[in-house]
């Protein structure tokens, strides 16, 4: 990419899944859009920077989208310089200390098979990306890590991803997986099953197989996570009402929302709202 990367500050009003939305401003959280052929496998780039006081710790909790993320990280307490985070079944928690920064590459469903030799079932927890784990993914991330700033890392990631796409063009199944997640993300009330498959011009079984082969989960699990991200966004707004959120997002009733939220976040919606302290 010849010009500077397209940068945008991540807002607390967006569907990010960050359970402590005030941290977005504190970490200087930013989105960067992929360019050219890289957009076939990269959903978005993001970056955060932290600089905490001595003896200060901060708990970061995120309910992520159904996506696999690669990241370049540095500073105190980071799990590794190069990290792969698979689709998580529950909200993940990390304790932040000292100073550091992270640059993330959130992949589209098709992305893992293009930038690595791994399958989604090969990794079930965040892990260090090493040549022993996967030489292709390690080379990709090591290339990105050469960047001295976010703009450079975006450019390097775009160029490297484009080369890898040229080597491994997307299959029809991978494109179906991408289209499925895009449809579910566009409307959090989307229904899975025959209706979704018909809209995508595929069979229900083909949609299920496409997601399991790229993300390791099925359409229902993907739709659930996307809807819960919207729950988090709405509950973090002033004046949020749990019953109204449940109705607006198509839950059977408030109890359905409470059980779904608690099973993934570990808190009830009421407990979450009280922790935020929003009026």
Give the integer Cα–Cα distance in Å for 42 and 62.
Answer: 20
**What pLDDT is attached to residue 54?**
87
User: Helices 269-276 and 254-265 sit at what angle, rounded to 10 degrees?
Assistant: 70
Give the integer Cα–Cα distance in Å for 276 and 54.
Answer: 24
**What pLDDT is attached to residue 1?**
42
b/e map 179-217, b = 16+ CB within 10 Å? bbbebbbeebebebeeebbeebebebebbbbbbbbbbbb
Give the integer Cα–Cα distance in Å for 276 and 22.
Answer: 9
**What pLDDT is attached to residue 190?**
64
CB 180 within 8 A of CB 222: yes
Q: Measured on CA atoms in the order 13, 16, 229, 111, is the torsion positive or negative?
A: positive
**What pLDDT is attached to residue 7?**
87
Judged by phi (left if over 0) then psi (alpha if -120 to 50, else beta), residue 213 lies in alpha
Host H or E run for residue 122: none
Maximum separation of any 2 CA atoms in the chain, in Å: 56
**What pLDDT is attached to residue 279?**
61
**Assigned token pair, 75:** 């500073």
**What pLDDT is attached to residue 170?**
98
In the chain the domains, ranked by start, together with CATH numbers, are 7-167 (no CATH), 172-276 (1.10.10.60)
pTM to 2 decimal places:
0.94
Q: What is the mean pLDDT of the chain?
A: 93
Q: What is the mean pLDDT of each run of 10 residues along the chain (279 residues)?
A: 73 90 92 97 97 89 94 93 94 91 98 97 95 98 97 98 98 97 86 87 96 96 94 92 94 94 94 85
């Amino acid at each position: 990419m010849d010009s500077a990367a397209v940068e945008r500050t991540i807002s607390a009003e967006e569907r990010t899944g960050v359970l402590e939305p005030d941290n977005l401003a504190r970490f200087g959280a930013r989105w960067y859009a992929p360019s050219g052929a890289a957009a076939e496998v990269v959903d978005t780039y993001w970056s955060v920077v932290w600089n905490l006081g001595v003896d200060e710790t901060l708990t970061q909790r995120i309910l992520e989208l159904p996506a696999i993320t690669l990241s370049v990280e540095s500073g105190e307490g980071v799990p590794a310089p190069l990290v792969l985070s698979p689709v998580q079944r529950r909200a993940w928690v990390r304790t932040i200390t000292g100073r550091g920064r992270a640059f993330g590459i959130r992949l589209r469903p098709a992305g893992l098979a293009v930038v690595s030799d791994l399958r989604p079932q090969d990794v079930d927890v965040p892990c260090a990306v090493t040549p022993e784990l996967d030489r292709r993914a390690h080379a990709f991330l090591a290339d990105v890590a050469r960047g001295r700033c976010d703009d450079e890392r975006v450019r390097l990631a775009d160029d490297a991803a484009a080369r890898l796409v040229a080597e491994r063009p997307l299959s029809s199944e991978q494109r179906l997986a991408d289209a499925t997640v895009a449809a579910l993300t566009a409307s959090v009330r989307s229904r899975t099953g025959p209706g979704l498959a018909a809209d995508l011009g595929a069979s229900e079984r083909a949609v299920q197989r496409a997601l399991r082969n790229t993300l390791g989960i099925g359409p229902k699990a993907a739709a659930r996570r996307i809807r819960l991200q919207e729950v988090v966004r709405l509950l973090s707004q002033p004046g949020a009402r749990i019953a109204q959120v449940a109705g607006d997002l198509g839950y059977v009733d408030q109890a359905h929302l409470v059980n779904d939220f608690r099973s993934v976040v570990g808190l009830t919606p009421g407990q979450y709202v009280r922790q935020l302290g929003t009026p």
